[in-house]
Amino acid sequence: MSEHVAVTDGADGVRLITLNRPEKKNALTGDMYDALRAALVSADGSEAVGAVVFAGLPGIFCAGNDIADFVSRAQMPFTEAPSLRFVRQLARTQTPMVAAVDGIAVGIGTTLTLHCDLVYASPAARFRMPFVELGLVPEAASSYLLPRRVGRLKATELLLLSEPFGADEAEALGLVNGVMPSGMLLEHACAQAARLAALPRGARAASRKLIRGDQALVEAALDAEAEAFERQLRTEEAQGAFRAFLARSKPGARA
């Protein structure tokens, strides 16, 4: 569905979903969100897929939502936005998900990992959630999930002040399971995903549900965030921040 998202299924039950838009640092467009959502929906519906792995390219996991897309979608109903439909699916996906983060992981590049069952990173991983700087609010239920994972004070640093953090800090915060050299990262993530895929399905699904807690609270956070996000998206705060980023991208605009 998108030339920028590659989906390959292995004989070990692992579906590898690779973001592949290097010229824009794997920033996600509507088509890419749709392709990601479709890959998760069909994973849930497939007997052959037992786990998915999200990966990017060397040094580039994902630079977040495509900012030009934010501008073009500002007047459309946000409830139909591919990004929102994707994060709703992400929260609902029954198939275990693993992330292999090498390099930049901005916005959804970070918040996507909060939904994963296992997360691995290379020392080059650089996480950041600059929603508020961009005139927006947190998304993908991060306003609910992150404070519960790292405490409200740390979540405030990461979500309000948009503090970047690296792989070691992410590991110390419990946001990644392990840090390993880039060359080993994908292989390790896929091996762990294969272990998840090989587990007895009923016991795995029931245990996963217990570990992840009340899904209704995640859904409620998604609803509340979507309402605030849509409101903010249309403000001059947000549109001005998008224009500033896009102007900086034009040839000759950089110092």
What letter would DSSP give residue 15?
E
CA dihedral 15, 16, 20, 25 (to 10 degrees): 120
Nearest approach, Cβ of residue 131 and ligand COA (Å): 6
Q: Are strands 126-128 and 165-166 parallel, antiparallel or unpaired?
A: antiparallel
CB of 47 to ligand COA, least distance (A): 36
Spatial CA neighbour of 173 closest among 183, 163, 182? 163
Interacting residues with ligand COA (CB under 6 A): 24-25, 27, 63-68, 104, 106-107, 130-131, 134, 249
**Closest Cα partner for 5 from 140, 80, 28, 14?**
28
Closest to ligand COA by CB, 64 or 96: 64
Q: Distances in Å between the alpha carbon of 149 and those of 162, 209, 212, 225?
A: 17, 17, 12, 18
Cα angle: 141, vertex 144, 145; to 5 degrees: 80
Name which of 49 and 241 has its Cβ closer to ligand COA: 241
Of 42 and 162, the one with the shorter C-beta distance to ligand COA is 162
Q: How far is the CB of 25 from ligand COA (least distance, A)?
A: 4
Q: Let me know if 80 is exposed, middle or buried by CB neighbors in 10 A (0-12, 13-18, 19+).
A: exposed
Q: Which is nearer to ligand COA, 218 or 233 (CB)?
A: 233
Task: Give the integer Cα–Cα distance in Å for 82 and 171.
Answer: 30
In whole angstroms, the minimum distance from the beta carbon of 96 to ligand COA comes to 26
Residues ≥6 apart with Cβ < 8 Å to 26: 4, 19, 20, 56, 57, 60, 61, 62, 63, 104, 109
- Find the shortest distance in angstroms from Cβ 252 to ligand COA: 11
**In this complex, which beta carbon is closest to ligand COA, that of residue 56 or of residue 64?**
64
Q: Which C-beta is closer to ligand COA: that of 33 or that of 131?
A: 131
In angstroms, what is the minimal distance from the CB of 117 to ligand COA?
24
